[in-house]
Amino acid sequence: MVSIHEKGWSSEALRRLQSAGYCIVQDVLDSDFLDASRSALYRAQEAIVGEVGRERLQGAGEIGTLRLPMKFDPFFYRFLEIPEVLEIVDATVGPTSILHLQNGFILPSFDAGATPHVFQNKFHRDFPRYMGGYLASINVFFAIDAFTETNGATLVVPGSHQKEEVPGIEEFEARAVPATAPAGAMLIFDSTLWHAAGKNVSGRDRLAINHQFTRSFFKQQIDYVRALGEERIVALPERTQQLLGWYTRVVTSLDEYYQPAERRLYRAGQG
Ligand SMILES: O=C(O)CCC(=O)C(=O)O
């Protein structure tokens, strides 16, 4: 684990990201930010249940995943302004990269042995393609509550990133370690790293927020520009607009195509 208070923290984090495929960076969020995040997660959960319905959410085979939380609470935009996040993003997938997803998690606790088996707690890669070692995508996953062995700390398989072959489940189980971390830490990982949500048997929810950033020419999981709407996007800081995909929009007409450079939907150099 490295701390942002250590000199050279980001170089050390990047070194570990390359060698082990992940690094835990502590002291990123302070207690006021964590309190505000907890309230925002529960507000977003209520709004999402209201919009989608409990039954449809349960049928999706997810446990406590909150997709598109920015639509329901503007607090979530703030994660895209955190200097330590931008420093890692710039140094890995570059300053033109875009947000592939931002998901909140209110991972509930289950009795021992009762956790449902779903995609998020099976070993998987968030970017399931090997491109000859090319770094196309990284994750920045915030522990809003401390991640412990009993509350479902994300399980990571050190050194399993950037591999063509797919190891078997026995190998994952033998090599996986829980990414235990204090509240306010960020777990950064190469999105080709094999990982899974741990089992929460703590008796309390485990709160977290995951981000995935990719090079600008990969499709987003959600088209954030269309999902949030132009009116909200234009009011945001320019870097946030760019991360949400404002400068990598696809034209839909010749009128949009033949615009002067400053009015184009796709900014030169975003590729
Ligand atoms: O909640 C976690 O610890 C991991 C979730 C995860 O891996 C996912 O949603 O892809």
DSSP string, 46-108: HHHHHHH-HHHHHHTT-SSEEE-HHHH-GGGGGGGG-HHHHHHHHHHT-TT-EEEEEEEEEE-
- The dihedrals phi and psi of 49, each to the nearest 5 degrees, come to -60, -40
> Is 266 strand, coil or helix?
strand
Q: Residue with structure tokens 């909200």?
A: 232
Q: How far, in Å, is the centroid of ligand 1 from the Cα of 254? A: 41
Task: Give the atom of ligand 1 at the shortest distance from the alpha carbon of 153.
Answer: 3
Q: How many domains does the chain fold into?
A: 1
Residue range 138-178, pLDDT digits in tens:
999 999 999 999 999 999 999 999 999 888 889 998 999 99
Smallest CA separation from ligand 1 atom 6, residue: 120
Residue 269 forms part of a structural domain: no
Residue range 187-238, pLDDT digits in tens:
999 999 999 999 999 999 999 999 999 999 999 999 999 999 999 999 999 9
Residue range 102-124, pLDDT digits in tens:
999 999 999 999 999 999 999 99
Residue 244 forms part of a structural domain: yes
The CATH number that applies at residue 211 is 2.60.120.620
Q: Residue with structure tokens 């949009």?
A: 256
CB of 195 closer than 6 A to ligand 1? yes
What pTM was computed for the model?
Answer: 0.97
> Is 248 strand, coil or helix?
strand
Q: How far, in Å, is the centroid of ligand 1 from the Cα of 162? A: 19
**In this structure, how many other beta carbons lie within 10 angstroms of the beta carbon of residue 14?**
16
CB of 197 closer than 6 A to ligand 1? yes
Range of the domain at 110: 2-263
